[in-house]
Structure 1
Amino acid sequence: MPIYKVTQQQGNRVITSTLEAKSLSSLQAFLAAASTAKIKYIYEVHFEDEETTPPIDDFTYYKQYKAFCKNGNRRSKQVLLHNVKKTMTESKLSNLIKTHLEVGGMKIDEVSCSLFME
């Protein structure tokens, strides 16, 4: 059965949970019947690693990296990365973003306003 990550909201409270269901429509029916909170997002989980122990937090990373990425149609999205390796530079990250990510289903042509946060 597929695993889903669900975000719901009621008032100012945002609730996130992980559920396993028969299908997306089955999950929606379950939540509509069982919960008063409004469904904001449902994501299907394609990868889950429960075997590996996370690394010890030695704080040798940049806490965040933010950038705006634009495609050929000038559509843009913000990219936010956490715990970025100290060996990363703006140009390395820009090349990785252009190689592996997309905006609106199109390749990224420009990465601008990048910012590392300690």
Structure 2
Amino acid sequence: MKHVTLIGVIIMAMSVLGSCEYNYEEETLEMGNTECELAVSYASTIRPLIDNNCMPCHNGDGKEPFAPDLRTYNSVMGIAGLIKEVTQSRRMPKEGSLSNEEINAIKCWVDQGALNN
């Protein structure tokens, strides 16, 4: 009987935790469903966002552990999907915040192929 009760408690806990995670993902995805009507330029839109918001930690100096170097297009393009994910979830940038429009610009740029344009 104790095993059945324990299994019931575990299943309930997993469903509660799973529902919280589901709501979080749903909110994140809702924000990212904005249409990408115009092509987003790396040079005029994405690069300035990175320079103004990411360079304190992602400048290649090695002071921040696990902070990828984002000084070049190739390094940014190599982790473009990750950049999209961490900005949409608002885990990055650590200090400061991006507007919904800036986050959507990153999403659109990645969805459009993360071009060097």
Same fold (TM > 0.5): no
Higher relative contact order (CA 8 A, sep 6+): 2
Higher share in strand = 1
Higher share in helix = 2
TM-score in terms of structure 1 length: 0.23
